[in-house]
Amino acid sequence: MSRVAYVNGLYVPHADAAVHVEDRGYQFADGVYEVCEVRGGRMVDERRHMERLQRSLRELRIAMPMPPAALGVVLRETIRRNRVREGIVYLQVTRGVARRDHYFPSPDTLPSIVVTARATDQAKAAASVASGAAIITVPDNRWDRVDIKTVGLLPNVLAKQAAKEAGAREAWFVRDGVVTEGGSTNAWIVTQAGAIVTRPAESGILRGITRTVLFEVANRLGLTVEERGFTLDEALAAREAFISSASNVVVPIVSIDGKTIGDGKPGPVARSLRDSFYDVAEFARK
Ligand code: PLP
């Protein structure tokens, strides 16, 4: 089956899908994106992802390219045309196409919109949850508006490549000794006392949708969550560590910079959060 992408109003063969060379996303990373999990052919937490998209656009003063309901139709149609049951749908909105100039283009410039969807390898995902993943740490050298989900991800790309070259799954950014987040995930630990700790999302990290849902999952399971920064030393001494994201929900971490976390196996807290995630997450209609 051939893949299909939605590009500025048209469903086109994925192999031919393209934007203009003067698209501001291409020229300046002047755009934002969202990634939503697809499960059983339905989007997970569409509402929260749409709300975050609108916030990101507002922060950058880019117009919403179409009303949220219409965008929902495009997302669903892209999922349907690609026959995705278990996978992700990706959405990108940029400030549009204009002659290259740093200033905002004229207000009548239409934002560009691209939507793609693809299946993910469920066996591979299950294997990494079963075995747990390794992470490395890198200095957090990003700008201070990482709360906006922009396509400007070069520090994240370099961090994740460094992780890959070190045989690890993810890189945790560390600023002033405190872990901020992963290259494409939020970072969590479980203390020896059993408290779940993750950094506040006021600034310095992306407010992950999975992170938000996990607060409620933890609450339902009667687990204590502390929203505060944790140091790398605290992480190394933790009982468990894990990462969260829409594409992989919860993945247990078994080593940091080559040092074993807990007993070196995926921990029970990460497992129970993962197991109960879909009891709280919202499923969109097909
Ligand atoms: N932090 C960063 C830097 C990310 O890129 C992502 C997801 O792409 C996340 C956190 C997790 O966010 P979400 O749970 O909404 O996928």
Task: Give the pLDDT confidence of 84-112 residue by residue, as tens digits.
Answer: 999 999 999 999 999 999 999 999 999 99
Buried b (16+ CB within 10 A) or exposed e, 112-136: bbbbbbeeeeeeeeeeebeebbbbb
pLDDT digits (tens, 9 = 90+) for 162-195: 999 999 999 999 999 999 999 999 999 999 999 9
Percent of the chain past pLDDT 70, that is, above it, reads 100
Q: How many Å apart are CA 119 and CA 278, to the nearest integer?
A: 19
Closest CA to 59 of 170, 145, 138: 145
List the Cα angle 219/220/221 in 5-degree steps.
Answer: 90
- Please list every protein residue whose CB sits less than 6 Å from any atom of ligand 1: 35, 156, 181, 184-186, 206, 208-211, 244-246
Tokens encoding 258: 């080559």
Q: How many Å apart are CA 205 and CA 199, to the nearest integer?
A: 8
Tell me: pLDDT of 29 over 90.
yes
Q: Is 259 a catalytic residue?
A: no
Tell me: pLDDT of 286 over 80.
no
pLDDT digits (tens, 9 = 90+) for 35-92: 999 999 999 999 999 999 999 999 999 999 999 999 999 999 999 999 999 999 999 9
Distance 51 CA to ligand 1 centre (A): 15
Rounded mean pLDDT of the chain? 97
Tell me: pLDDT of 115 over 80.
yes
Q: Where are the beta strands (DSSP E) in the chain?
A: 4-7, 10-13, 31-39, 42-43, 87-94, 112-119, 133-139, 170-175, 178-182, 186-190, 196-198, 225-227, 230-231, 240-245, 249-256, 259-260
Distance 92 CA to ligand 1 centre (A): 15
Q: How many Å apart are CA 197 and CA 91, to the nearest integer?
A: 30
Average pLDDT on 122-138 reads 96
Q: Predicted confidence band at 230 (pLDDT cuts at 50, 70, 90)?
A: very high
